[in-house]
Copies of this chain bind each other. A is one copy, B any other.
Amino acid sequence: MRAVAIVGVGLIGGSFGLALRKAGFTGELIGISSEAALSAGIKAGAIDRSGTLEEAARSAHLIYLSQPVDRILSTIPVLAKVARRDCLITDAGSTKARIVAASMAAHLEPFLGGHPLAGKEQRGAQSADPDLFRHRPYVLTPTTTETDRTREFRFWLEKIGAKVIDMSPTEHDETVAFTSHLPQLLSSALAATLARNENGNVDQVFGQGLLDMTRLALSPPELWKSILSTNSAAVHRALDAFLITLNDLRRSIGAPELAGGFIMANEFAQKIREGST
A184 at the interface (CB under 8 A from B): yes
Chain B proximity mask over A166-200: 1 for CB below 8 Å, otherwise 0:
01000110111011101111111111111111010
A144 at interface (Cβ–Cβ under 8 A)?
Answer: no
Residue of B nearest to A235 (CB): B253
A224 at the interface (CB under 8 A from B): yes
Q: Does A148 contact B (CB under 8 A)?
A: no
Q: Which of B172, B196, B261 sits near A264, CB closer than 8 Å?
A: B196
Contact of A106 with B by CB under 8 A:
no
The answer to whether B201 and A265 have CB atoms under 8 Å apart is no
Contact A253 B269 (CB under 8 A): no
A36 at the interface (CB under 8 A from B): no
Are A137 and B205 in contact, CB atoms less than 8 angstroms apart?
yes
Is A209 on the interface with B (CB-CB < 8 A)? yes
A167 to B139, CA, bound (A): 49
Q: Is A217 an interface residue (CB 8 A)?
A: yes
Interface residue? A204 (CB, 8 A)? yes
Give A246 to B197 CA distance when docked, in angstroms.
Answer: 14
User: Which of the segments A3-11, A24-32, A225-233 contacts the partner chain?
Assistant: A225-233
What per-residue 1/0 map shows which CB atoms of A249-277 lie under 8 Å from chain B? Answer: 11001100010011111111111110110
Residues in B neighbouring A208, C-beta threshold 8 A:
118-120
Question: In the complex the two chains form, is A185's CB within 8 Å of B245's CB?
Answer: no
- Assembled-state Cα–Cα distance A150/B235 (Å): 52
Closest B residue, CB atoms, query A238? B193
CB pair A250 B239 closer than 8 Å: yes
Residue of B nearest to A115 (CB): B205
Taking a contact as CB atoms under 8 Å apart, the answer to whether A241 and B206 are in contact is: no
Cβ B245 vs Cβ A206 within 8 A: no
Write out, one digit per residue, whether chain A residues 201-222 have a CB within 8 A of any chain B CB (1) or not (0).
1111111111111111111111
Name the distance in Å between A205's Cβ and chain B's nearest Cβ.
5
* Most chain B beta-carbon neighbours within 10 Å: one of A118, A186, A239: A186
Given contacts A189-B265, A232-B253, 16 further A-B contacts (CB under 8 A): A118-B208, A137-B206, A175-B205, A176-B205, A179-B207, A183-B209, A183-B212, A184-B209, A187-B265, A192-B262, A203-B271, A212-B215, A217-B268, A218-B270, A220-B266, A239-B250
18 pairs from A and B in contact (CB 8 Å cutoff): A171-B201, A175-B202, A176-B206, A182-B193, A184-B209, A187-B213, A193-B242, A196-B264, A203-B268, A212-B215, A214-B269, A215-B269, A218-B266, A220-B266, A221-B262, A221-B266, A224-B262, A229-B253
- Ordered nearest first, which 4 A-B pairs have the shortest CB separation? A191-B265, A221-B262, A195-B268, A179-B206
